[in-house]
Structure 1
């Protein structure tokens, strides 16, 4: 028995305490106290000594004596030798993760002895700083665990992860179980570890776990301890655990991390460049640390130097390497765990043009069934190589996308890559045409015999797919335009004509109709060229928000329409010119004349679908000029004409949705609250079924204003909250009005 053991026992007995009583007052387990008094463990460390001194009520002289005897005892027993399962060195410039740390630390406090020890699983892709997080957490909660903090790297990303038996032996030895007492089988060792941990307040940090089977035997059962497991996998097979998924850092945190590593990043004048570096690093802590180290070790560099290096996407992963550490190296460890089918899926997803995607694109890229593609995507998510984005969509981290593209270039020949890209492009464009034609008066249904990977059996399903996949089918359209597939480009753009009312202010329309205008000009059909020139005028005004350009294009289209004698396209050109002039707010008289001339032309040629659309533009123009009563008359006329003329379903729905929406707003401006409320209530289901979310927000704003006028503040507040949720920056005046009305209501409450 050591001098420390005898001294501790004497102090306890002099205080008249049992081991159980000292355990209660100090927070050190009775088992650990027993081991120390019998000499079965080394002298306690500083935190445990402080807890024991507090529990015994020692005065300063007695505390110093206890510490000195413990020091001498450690020295005699060779305490200078490395201790097993010591925590690794913490990073001094750790930033962020405040909420996650608080969530995990909340489990470290005292609790009843007969409940399961909590387990925290920290998961996420490579480079997010899971180990740094776990070590930081261990440092923060260490005082809660006077019986020890044990760290073990399970080497889960190695070709051969640490065997369970070896992990159990290391943990038992770290807990100072004599090698002669360690059980023979893994099952017995697991039970032995749980028995040890049941009696001690210990923290286990099980880092870099390969899978559930490796971790499960290492976890404590009932007891006062806590286990923290980190893994690139979700470890979804573990029950009753708290899962904390780490995300990339926030921009301000990224800037702070860079500033903590490199002096150049602290300069306020370099804030813009620092933000660019953080963006290029995808706000990934590993990438940020490497970027910061590159700066810190090159004092002559400015942050702008680093930005120029990182701006080259093909070289970015190479730049984000220093010494034996690299972003690509970290990703490669996860990639190496993929079976061949999943590895093929991973690299081919680099073909996807948009930021996010759904499983059908994955099936097209790999030529597999939808269930097989979904299984492959789930595996990529599980390994942290892909991020779920909502219920059924996925996205790459920017740097992992670059790594996937690198693997694609290395592992597939150019011809194979081109064939895969073409297959995806054709599928996206064909599906876009089928979905878009749901909204065309000449079609309005699913073509007979069409089968596809996505459900398009209703207009609602078509709308949902076109909006969700807009970046992807637009990317495919870019590729078709670059390849000179003019016929395909024009067909896709034509199919989008009526659907475009669902996404009026989408910036992508400027590209869509810019491509189709150029493609149509190369085809022999002059009328088609004229049609797409008109579409481009609309897109310049609405999508690009360039009304002056839109008016110029529209008038060029009008001149061409006059040349070839097409009165219908003359009417459309005038309508688009009128809208452009209305948006510019400097040619309103010209706009009104254009609308009225278009109205007359469409009436004369019997184009009823186009005719009923003109009243909306005229009414809006009058309303903007403060002529509310005249505007209301125009909207009422539109509603009557839809009922009186043989208007196709889609144009009729659009005209009715717009007329009721804007008539309700005109009624509010005229102070006719009850009529405005009634009209807006009619408009609401129309815009929900037909128009964009933004237009639905407009209706809610009108409902709120009418209810305020009628003395119904509670109901008005609900509508304002909905309006602010649905309106966007394309309607700044409506947004400002909604905010002002809500502030006024809250201020008067």
Structure 2
């Protein structure tokens, strides 16, 4: 309950500490008003119903009241142990607030203090106390709260304010301050023409200012209003004062010494301009503000431009980014850095743009007008008139407006200054692209050095440097989000005996991480919830479901698959979530979550969506990747019948590719996402792998095998395939078993697990349906590739490759036949039969039609070069290698290019061109290192060392038989 505060002297608002709470829709605020202003007394449900709906409530009103009470408890209570602020008592409810937590109570206490000071003759302190009480009113009390009770309280509180004002003005006149208050009294008397107390004070102030005629005219005005409105004459006190003014009664003279009293500094007082002091409303600067050097300079430089003599328009700076990224901190810090350039003051407002109920800009105008010296009664009720007065009051002044947490352009447009010299500094989760702005500063999460610097400033540099790696782990667990780092720092400050490792261990549990990122009024989850709560149903569903796939980012097409909608609708939802700071834009057409926002979204989907819904979302995205990969293969290898076997039906919204390079790039880009989604489905702790998912994933991994030029991550693929094989066995799916065994065997061969590879290839052959003409050549080919690894298996491998070649030719798959001939050529080379290898390589090229299967062409060309080199025909080998390199460059075949460069280096060395050979080998080593192929890189460097040691007579490197 500590830290709970409520304000009713203006819009109804509540805070816990420095964090403003969401008090909900209008009826809920009406319930809160009834409980708050009863000051701890019990209100029955029936009383609350009457307070909100009056004498004719709907039948559902009692249920609605109880629902509102439940929601208010969620917001107001700080502990889960049970309600302590909003309690149930004897069939009703009561709200208990700490002393001083309600602004109405503070106003009443201040009034009592002022009365006590006045009774003791301390008039000046009494004036100051009453003035302090008046500042508690920040607008019309209970603005926007419906119901008869709220209206009665609104009238009471407005009357109470007038009582305070009259008391203060009376004391001011007793102190001789008539010149200070005459303008205020002129306005108040006009606003309340039937209030004789104010009229009497006005007449006395005018008389003491030497304006006897104006004082008498004021009496005439009062008499006319009373007669017209009420049909009565002025009361005896006002009549007596009028007579005394006529007689110039010496007792009406100012008190001794009043002549020396001077008006307070500021613009001259007048009918609508009381004494005015430049506002200084910016929140305090952040003492440990860290980082943001470039962004801070950009904002400060832009704001400084407001003071240029050639400026023709106000400066407008927008700082935008996701919740918790530090927009307000940067804005406040920048505002303090330039405050001297705005001598007419700084205005600040939290526009609450991230929540359900953003601030009404016209109510904000009223608050700002009062800060600029306009009395409440002089603020026009009409929007156009209020805006006109607002702009007039802003004109000619040098003001800085800090408009924090803006919802959209419409909300801030009526608040902007309109003349040069002033500036507006706006923070928002969106870039407000339709707003004419001088600068826009996009805030991203901290860099690691910035995050560590903030953590050190809060928790202590010695403490952080003693656990340097753990400090780094902590800020990474925070996703470098400034708010999260600040929470971690605050928790470490509050627990000096904790090590950084203690907190890092607590944050390591992703399911509990958001709960740990809370310290007092700082809570990452609460900040995220503000944005989430403002979403409509479709946006909220998209935000939840799109977080389910553990992928680096999502394309529009993948999102459409997850959400079961067309791409246009998916893009609209993605853009809306990005606009509201809940997604981050990536490359064109791609979107990603911040790590903590993903955790928040996943918590929401666990709370909201059934497990079947979550599972189906993953299945749909897996199907999307399968269909996309099959489409890519149809373009990259148009001869292949494998896509028809793996994905016979396709999927609406599948990726479309214009050429083979485009198809390869798509597979390469989506590869991490494909493997992550496969891992999610296969390793889910509670949900078994379905038969449909088993088939989808086995076919997906199988379709990746022809894309080996991408240096596939064989270790993870091997692990996935082993898990998938158990699921295929469980469901008795022969096709899934064959696909998975082929994949696992290929991975084992690449990893050097040759016995396991042979076993898996044999299992694929056992599971193969004899009538399956598409998978048959691939199974036999896999058996051949696996046999090559055995010292005694080369002849067996040749037999398998020839059988697979024949099956491929029968199928009408020339590219597959070419692939078999390449493997056959390599086996022949390994057996020392270069002539037969040359024949197989030429057969491979013959089965590769120009323009189709660039990987197959490059491989066949390179193996042809290897065969020629083995025959000592190095010049011809160089020609073939160069041709293969042309194909690799044209089609982006990076791995093939690297290995071909190494083969070319060997041939160049053999024909006496050591410098060219060294250049090719160095280029190959660098490319292989970048591709993550340590074995190939080592071979290249070994060759370079041999070349350097042997000089021009360096021997050729042996063919490697690699990809």
* Aligned equivalents of 2:371, 2:344: Cα separation in 1: 11
Query: Could you tell me whether the CA contact under 8 Å between 1:84 and 1:173 is conserved in 2?
Result: no
More displaced stretch, 608-617 vs 282-291: 608-617
Give the corresponding residue for 1:653.
Answer: 854
Cα deviation digits, residues 338-395 of structure 1 (max 9, x gap): 1111112112223223231122333334333322222111111111111111111111
Which residue, out of 519, 535, 538, partners 2:743? 535
SS in 2 for 1:304: helix
Query: Which residue of structure 2 lines up, in the alignment, with residue 207 of structure 1?
Result: 404
Counterparts of 2:311 and 2:431, CA distance in 1? 28
Which residue number corresponds to residue 686 of structure 1? 887
Q: Which residue number corresponds to residue 456 of structure 1?
A: 656
- Report the Cα offset of residue 284 of structure 1: 0.8
Q: CA deviation at 1:509?
A: 2.7
Contact 1:95 1:257 in 2 (8 A): yes
> Out of 588, 593, 603, which is 1:396 matched to?
593
Q: Report what 1:553 is aligned to.
A: 756
Shift of 1:137: 1.7
Q: SS of the counterpart of 2:298? A: helix
Q: 2:282: which partner in 1? A: 87
Deviation at 1:616, TM superposition (A): 8.2
Contact 2:777 2:805 in 1 (8 A): no
CA distance in 2, matches of 1:703, 1:237: 58
Q: Tell me how far apart the structure 2 counterparts of residues 596 and 541 of structure 1 sit (CA, whole Å).
A: 18
1:352-363 pair list within 5 angstroms: 352-363=549-560
Deviation for aligned residue 1:521:
5.2
Alignment partner, residue 443 of structure 1: 641
Partner of 1:494: 702
CA distance in 1 between counterparts of 2:350 and 2:668 reads: 45
Cα shift readout 1:43-81 (whole Å, capped 9, x = no counterpart) = xxxxxxxxxxxxxxxxxxxxxxxxxxx9x979xx9xx99
CA distance in 2: counterparts of 1:289 and 1:182, whole angstroms: 41
Give the whole-Å Cα distance in 2 for the aligned partners of 1:217 and 1:206: 12
Deviations 1:480-511 (A, max 9, x none): 54415244443333333323444534664334
Change (3 A) 1:635 1:570: closer
**Whole-angstrom distance in 1 between the partners of 2:930 and 2:670:** 21
2:455 pairs with 1:258: yes
Structure 2: gaps (5+ residues): 1-179, 182-261, 270-274, 683-687, 769-775, 807-816, 945-963
1:314-393 alignment runs, 5 A limit: 314-393=511-590
Q: Secondary structure at the match of 1:162?
A: coil
Shift of 1:677: 9.3
Q: Give the equivalent residue in structure 2 for 1:483.
A: 689
Question: Deviation at 1:408?
Answer: 1.6
Native 8 Å contact 2:787 2:796 kept in 1: no
> Is contact 2:780–2:803 with CA below 8 Å preserved after alignment?
no
User: Structure 2 CA distance, aligned partners of 1:219 and 1:496?
Assistant: 56
Q: How do 1:149-188 and structure 2 match up within 5 A?
A: 149-175=346-372, 186-187=383-384
Q: How has the CA–CA distance of structure 1 residues 236 and 684 changed in structure 2, closer, same or farther, with 3 Å as cutoff?
A: farther
Distance apart, 1:327 and its partner CA? 1.1
Q: Which has the larger radius of gyration?
A: 2
Cα displacement (A) at 1:690: 4.8
> For 1:95 and 1:141, how far apart are their aligned partners in 2?
18
Partners of 1:103 and 1:495 in 2: how far apart?
50
Structure 1 residues 272 and 477, CA gap change in structure 2 (3 angstroms)? same
Alpha-carbon offset, residue 463 of structure 1? 3.8
SS at match of 1:218: coil
Q: Which residue of 2 aligns with 1:602?
A: 801
Match of 2:842 among 634, 637, 640: 640
After superposition, give the CA deviation of every residue in 1:694-749 in whole Å (9 maximum; x if it has no partner): 5567789999999xx8999xxx99x989x8799444469769999xx9xxxxxxxx
Q: Does 1:470 align with 2:665?
A: no
Deviation at 1:247, TM superposition (A): 0.8
Inter-partner Cα distance in structure 2 for 1:405 and 1:686: 45
Aligned to 1:55: none
What is the DSSP-based 3-state SS (H/G/I as helix, E as strand, rest coil) of the residue aligned with 1:361? helix
| SS of structure 1 residue aligned to 2:546 | helix
Please state how far the C-alpha of 1:207 moved relative to its aligned partner: 1.0
Report matched runs for 1:555-634 at 5 Å: 555-557=758-760, 572-573=782-783, 575-576=785-786, 598-599=797-798, 601-603=800-802, 606-607=805-806, 608-614=817-823
User: What is the CA-CA distance between 1:150 and the residue it aligns to?
Assistant: 3.4
Aligned-partner Cα distance in 1 for 2:419–2:714: 57
Deviations along 1:133-177, one digit per CA (max 9) or x if unpaired, are 111222333344444343332222344322222323444454557
Mean Cα deviation higher: 117-126 or 145-154: 145-154
What is the CA-CA distance between 1:397 and the residue it aligns to? 1.1
Contact 2:546 2:559 in 1 (8 A): yes
- The corresponding residue for 2:25 is none
Conserved in 1, the CA contact under 8 Å of 2:470 and 2:500? yes
Q: Shift of the alpha carbon at 1:425?
A: 4.5
Unaligned 5+ runs, structure 1: 1-38, 41-69, 582-589, 623-629, 742-749
Aligned to 2:197: none
Does the CA contact (< 8 Å) of 1:365 and 1:424 recur in 2? yes
Superimposed CA distance per residue, residues 450-498 of structure 1 (whole angstroms, 9 cap, x where no aligned partner)? 5511333656465454344334443443455441524444333333332
- The change in CA–CA distance for 1:527 and 1:489 in structure 2 (over 3 A counts) is closer
User: Cα distance 1:536–1:365, how it changes in 2: closer, same or farther (>3 A)?
Assistant: closer
Does the 8 Å contact 2:566/2:653 carry over to 1?
A: no
Shift of 1:648: 7.8
SS in 1 for 2:406: coil
CA distance in 2, matches of 1:280, 1:139: 32
How far residue 329 of structure 1 moved from its aligned partner, in angstroms, is 0.8
The structure-2 alpha-carbon separation of the partners of 1:330 and 1:130, relative to structure 1 and needing over 3 Å to count, comes to: same
Q: CA deviation at 1:116?
A: 2.7
Q: Distance in 2 between matches of 1:635 and 1:192?
A: 92
How well do the aligned residues superpose, as a CA RMSD in angstroms? 5.0
Contact 1:517 1:533 in 2 (8 A): yes
Matched residue, 2:718: 510
Instruction: Please tell me whether the aligned partners of residues 437 and 496 of structure 1 are also in contact (alpha carbons under 8 angstroms).
Output: no
- What secondary structure is seen at the aligned counterpart in 2 of 1:152? strand
Change (3 A) 1:676 1:197: farther
Note the C-alpha offset of 1:285: 1.0
Residue aligning to 1:5: none
Q: Distance in 1 between matches of 2:928 and 2:380?
A: 61
1:303 to 493, 500, 503: 500
Distance 1:143 1:619 in 2: 84
Which segment drifts farther, 135-144 or 370-379? Answer: 135-144
Q: What TM-score does the superposition give when structure 1 sets the normalisation length? A: 0.70
Cα distance change of structure 1 residues 660 and 571 upon mapping to structure 2, 3 Å threshold: closer
Q: CA deviation digits over 1:200-255, x for unaligned, max 9?
A: 44433211111101111222345234322101122122134422111111122222
Q: Secondary structure at the match of 1:655?
A: helix
How far apart, CA to CA, are the structure 2 residues paired with 1:697 and 1:316? 44
Matches of 1:381 and 1:232, distance apart in 2: 9
**Paired residues, number:** 634
Q: Once the 2 structures are TM-superposed, how far is the Cα of residue 427 of structure 1 from its aligned partner?
A: 4.8
Q: 1:226 to 1:499 in 2, by over 3 A?
A: same
